[in-house]
Structure 1
Amino acid sequence: MEQKLQMFENRLTKVFRHTSKLARRQNITCYRVYDDDIPEFPFSIEMYEDHVYIAEYHRKHGMEEDAHEEWLDTCLELISKVLEVAPNKIWVKQRQRKENRKSQYEKLSLESHIMTAYEAGLQFKVNLSDYLDTGLFLDHRITRSMIREEVKDKKVLNLFCYTGSFSVYAAAGGAAEVTSVDLSKTYLAWAEENMKLNGFDNPKYTFVHADVLQYLDTLKLNTYDLVIIDPPTFSNSKRMKDFLDVQRDHADMLNKVLLATKKDGVVYFSNNYRRFVLEADKINASSIKDITNQTLPFDFQQKMIRKCYRLIK
């Protein structure tokens, strides 16, 4: 055990030294430090300003609950030491959390912790305590910047908008209109909050509560200059009419999006399905470019499962 902990400490020290230096150089304050690098330590560890957000992936570890508690507390002490962050600024999620966790860290997680995170001069509300995700997907940092660079005076549609980070970047880039669509009222309200946080409180920024699959059928032809679509891999929300499977449905979804896009308009399409294969021959775009690698931030170089494409009508 001691030997494995030492291995984990060495690895974490090394990657933190490297990523924190790159982050400082680029003035980035929210970034991933570690992601399951050593199988016996199945964590994702991220910095959010001066806080640490840890997700423990669910694995068969063969430990009794008490032994696992003890092991986790030891790991958290080590993470606190290496990252030089006080335990009360460490937030832990377990992908299958037991309700009776007793460690000091768990008690902290039962308090709500909402804070403002900064990225590229913009502000985002993140929640380190209440959901499995924080509200800001760090792996799309570069994609967001690319969109900001090309939206001036354009009509933008953000589908499956989640907490609206792409919408915030689009507004910051001077988009003429931004429409954000999501099925979750919670996330849509959060998206609106993120827009207001950055001073983008204007009728040209609209928020639509809808099932995207049905909403696509209501879109007018040739309306948008730029569309962002980042669907979940699968979704069978009770509020959805249809079950979504990104592999099965992506060509159909993208063709509907392209109909609503102006000629030479751009569609950014991303998804997290590990075994995803783009069916380019079924998609009515004049050009499709895989931009996964060029949208890969420094802190996700080792491990990135999402795909990202840029389509032109």
Structure 2
Amino acid sequence: MFDPSKLQMLENRLVKVFKHLRKTARRQNITCYRVYDDDIPEFPFSIELYEDHIYVAEYQRQHGMEEEEHENWLDSSLGVISRVLEVPLEKIFVKQRQRKASRQEQYEKLSFESHEMTVQEAGLSFKVNLSDYLDTGLFLDHRITRGMVRDAAAGKKVLNLFCYTGSFSVYAAAGGASQVTSVDLSKTYLAWAEENMRLNGFDVAKHRFVHADVLQYLDTLPEEEFDLVVLDPPTFSNSKRMKEFLDIQRDHVSILNKVLSATKPGGVIYFSNNYRRFVLDSDRILAAEIKDITAQTMPFDFQQKLIRKCYKITR
């Protein structure tokens, strides 16, 4: 049942966290960040600010409300969000998501009216879509990791696997990479990655955009080809277009060893994934050094919610 008196809990929480996060974001010159993530059980949202717009994802759960009551609850909640975050209702976009959506499901198109905008991050431009997919096109939790890639990319051949919309590719190009190869199974996301490259003034002819099933593509890679690799796979994927079913806990050793073989000696792989119970089987990975960099890549707006693991692996 919807209890309107509980809206005060949401308001109090948002007032408290937003005051603190907005200060930090302004100090760091960050305009896209997460404000709230399922902090109160009665309000199972993720709320992200994209400059002057808000993206709200409602996690699916058994709420016991009739449809009309749920609509009233959602409208009332959005009213609170709009007021506290000082963003008009017409600039708030809402999605409903399952807690355990595979990345492939997350990427299915949801609606046909598109709200696209260009946002800034660290002096770079990215197209985001607030209306059509379960994710906007920019994973905010990798802000720091992207910066690490930019800092390391000068003169390097970079490989970005499961590249999604190519934000890591843009950062690598911005860091002076000699060539960036971006690989994804989705033509939509590869085209988006190219668009992001062009938005930032990079010559897409200098870089490679490969439409492929990554698991099969790994078997075609020459040895010792790349200096720097970004590997951010889904936890599970059983897309009809994939030849094999991907399970990152089961498959990470074989994937990483194939990637290491395509990496030059001394080259680096940034590997991350979102599986909460993930355990790295480091003894079977043929690397010179493996560092868990999860904590140092966690931005200020994700501090309370450890949502992924991240490693720096050196060949």
Pairing partner for 2:14 from 12, 15, 24 = 12
From 33, 45, 48, the equivalent of 1:46 is: 48
CA-to-partner distance for each residue in 1:147-185, whole Å, 9 max, x for gaps?
A: 100110000000000000000000000001100000000
Q: 1:94 aligns to what?
A: 96
1:179 aligns to 2:181 (yes or no):
yes
Indicate the residue corresponding to 2:5 in structure 1. Answer: 3
- The structural deviation recorded for 1:3 is 3.3
Question: Counterpart of 1:203 in 2: which secondary structure?
Answer: helix
Compare 11-20 and 201-210 and name the one that shifted more: 201-210
Alpha-carbon distance between aligned partners in 1 of 2:299 and 2:223, rounded to the nearest angstrom: 35
* Cross-structure match for 2:107: none
Cross-structure match for 2:83: 81
What aligned pairs does 1:257-276 form with structure 2 within 5 A after superposition? 257-276=259-278
Which residue of 213, 217, 221 corresponds with 1:215? 217
Counterparts of 1:204 and 1:150 in 2: how far apart (Å)? 19
- Distance in 2 (CA, whole Å) between partners of 1:216 and 1:22 is 40
The residue number in structure 1 matching 2:303 is: 301
Aligned mate of 2:58, from 27, 37, 56: 56
Equivalent in the alignment of 1:30: 32
Which residue pairs with 1:103 in the alignment? Answer: none
Q: Provide the residue aligned with 1:106 in structure 2.
A: none
- The DSSP-based 3-state class of the residue aligned with 1:231 is coil
Aligned partners of 2:230, 2:147: CA distance in 1, in Å?
Answer: 13
CA distance in 2, matches of 1:81, 1:118: 24
What does 1:187-198 correspond to in 2, within 5 Å?
A: 187-198=189-200
**Aligned equivalents of 1:165, 1:305: Cα separation in 2:** 19
What is the match of residue 106 of structure 2?
Answer: none
Counterpart position of 1:279 = 281
Distance in 1 (alpha carbons) for counterparts of 2:290 and 2:205: 33
Q: Distance in 2 between matches of 1:127 and 1:34?
A: 20
The unaligned stretches of length 5 or more in structure 1 are 97-108
The correspondence of residues 158-177 of structure 1 with structure 2, limited to 5 A, is 158-177=160-179
Aligned counterparts, 1:200-239, within 5 A: 200-239=202-241
Please report how far the alpha carbon of residue 110 of structure 1 lies from its aligned counterpart in structure 2 after TM superposition.
6.4
Tell me the secondary structure at the aligned position of residue 205 of structure 2. coil
Q: How big is the shift at 1:203?
A: 2.5
How many corresponding residue pairs? 301
Query: Corresponding residue for 2:127?
Result: 125
TM-score w.r.t. length of structure 2: 0.94
CA displacement at 1:4 relative to structure 2? 1.6
In structure 1, C-alpha distance between the alignment counterparts of 2:112 and 2:242, rounded to whole Å: 31
User: Structure 1 CA distance, aligned partners of 2:37 and 2:306?
Assistant: 10
Q: C-alpha displacement at 1:112, in angstroms?
A: 1.6
| Structure 1 residue ranges (4+ consecutive) displaced by more than 2 angstroms after TM superposition | none
| Pairwise CA RMSD | 1.0
Q: Output aligned runs, 1:136-175, within 5 Å.
A: 136-175=138-177
Gapped regions of structure 2 (runs ≥ 5): 99-110
Counterpart of 2:125 in 1: which secondary structure? strand
Quick one: distance in 2 between partners of 1:201 and 1:113? 26
